[in-house]
Structure 1
Amino acid sequence: MPHFNDYLGNNPLTYVRKLMTHFNFQEPPIPIEEISKFLGLSIVDVDPPPEMATPALHKALTTVPCWLERSEKKISVYKRAPKKRRRLGISHENTHFIIPYHVGINPFCSGADDPTSRKYTEREAFMGGAAMLFYPKLFIEDVLSTSSISLDIIQKLSARYDGSLEATANWYARTHPQICAIVIAEPPTQEEAVDEFLQDQFGLPINVKPHTPSPSARNWLPASGGFREEINFVMQVKYSITSIRFPKWIPPRTRIPDTSLIYKTFVTGKHCSGEIPASDLGSSSRWRYNAECMPMGDGSSNVMALIWLPDKQMDLAI
């Protein structure tokens, strides 16, 4: 059981790096459950009883398919969760287990914790879990073996590491040495407060807030010749992940105009490539990103965009 005598600082990757020294993985995919076994954690598949197996509960448990029961040294896993989500969920819980200052966090009572603190600990667990799943010693070598940046490479890495496309794309952008970013865009949504609760197999409440599309926003922007031009903003940034050398942070809820390549992908439902002006993503800079966009699929209306800039330093091998 991790203890504060094992404290190594507040970077989750430090704990994952120490853990991975006990293994000699040479090829992906990484056997995540083998890591759990090394930690003394058992993996237990669970399924709600038939009278509770509603579509809404299935969706909730597919979104969060794993939870750590630290006192029993086990990870419970939703039996019907997709394999790739299961793998990421187990690695996420492994990270919670090895970080000593995550001891005492109750995964079922988020209201009992400070929301900001809880969000931060979940982010740490996701980062550490991704570092297990996409073991940097192997993953970065695979990234550097390609001379280009593309969604096709991300799809191949997703298959090679047996991780979801979205998780692979996030780790690809986070660890890439060049100037690139992943942007996940969505139609604007409007939360409706609904007193609807679901009971999981332990009888604990899961608050479900349905989302409905909100009306598209319109802005009037100055145009050349003294006229004013109407711009229709029909999508927004859900979140973005940037490489360490990417020059701008792209904040959530940045509105995206209907002239953007991202919107074209949303409308056509097809893979699109071209350029995206930095202004489409809320920047005042005049540069244009190279871009590839694709629909997220699986019933989602979201769009994934991979954007990058030419890297003169890398070109010159400086």
Structure 2
Amino acid sequence: MSISSLEREPLVAIDRLTKRYPAAAGGFGKPKAWVNAVNGVSFEIRSGETLGLVGESGCGKSTTGQLLARLLEPTSGSIRFRGRELATLRGREIRDMRKHIQLIFQDPYASLNPRHTIGSILEEPLRVHRIGSSAERRQQARDMLEIVGLDRSYAARYPHELSGGQRQRIGIARALMLRPSFVVADEPVSALDVSVQSQILNLLKELQRRFALTTLFVSHDLNVVQYMSDRVAVMYLGTLVELAPAETLFRSAVHPYTRALISAIPSVRDGERRERIVLRGEVPSPLHPPAGCPFHTRCPQAVAECALVPPEWKSVGPDHYARCLLT
């Protein structure tokens, strides 16, 4: 019997997660200003689901993914994985945790060591965690090549001998070598040709079913997110503004920012037309975010109260949440 999304237990849960960076130095080397790259974000990712995280460049979505993978140290807040707090882990505890949480990087060119063969790259996670003998690691690496759709002979090649799509397959294979239960996919197809993107997306879907993966899928491309995700979270200026099942979000989004993003998706169906919502102005600086609702300076529906009162995170429907005074 299948378990609905609402009945699944959360594998990952973050609560008021914040990441600040010093922006300017003051006296005695102390910062006099801070940038909130991620500002009090809370959500859960249920076991076996893909949660899409979308927003404009600079909104904090990639930083959120790196915080969950503990590549970055959170300033404050909680990250729980299977009920265990990760935000306070140090040293060897973090290394042991990485067996269960892996990251697929955006750039397949920069994320692979050009001096190592593909076989060595795939075996490295097993060596670091002292898993198996040399022969067993070599065998697992070649098996994984076949799983991601490449011939075993690729183990003897170097990254520069592969195409962009093949390199991203290697990046995916490396992330799965330790059989993690949670994967952060950070813009995994944005650096690829459009003709290759669909192949990689279908591969990710197949691997998610095969390995029962739970995934945070970070992207700015709403078409891709709609195809890949069970639920979608929308970020603006470091803050979540809406979270809903993918079908609900794309059919009946309530936040003006989400509706503007969806209106910009090109339609490929005959006779289907969307009314384009054009946002005025530029994204505010995270160094000096607006008072009240951070989106009010660009919102086509903003009222005077939006500039004064920070909106609360509230339920607007079944498993559907938004942060807007007008909902």
Do both share a fold (TM > 0.5)? Answer: no
**Greater per-residue helix proportion:** 1
TM-score normalised by the chain length of structure 1: 0.29
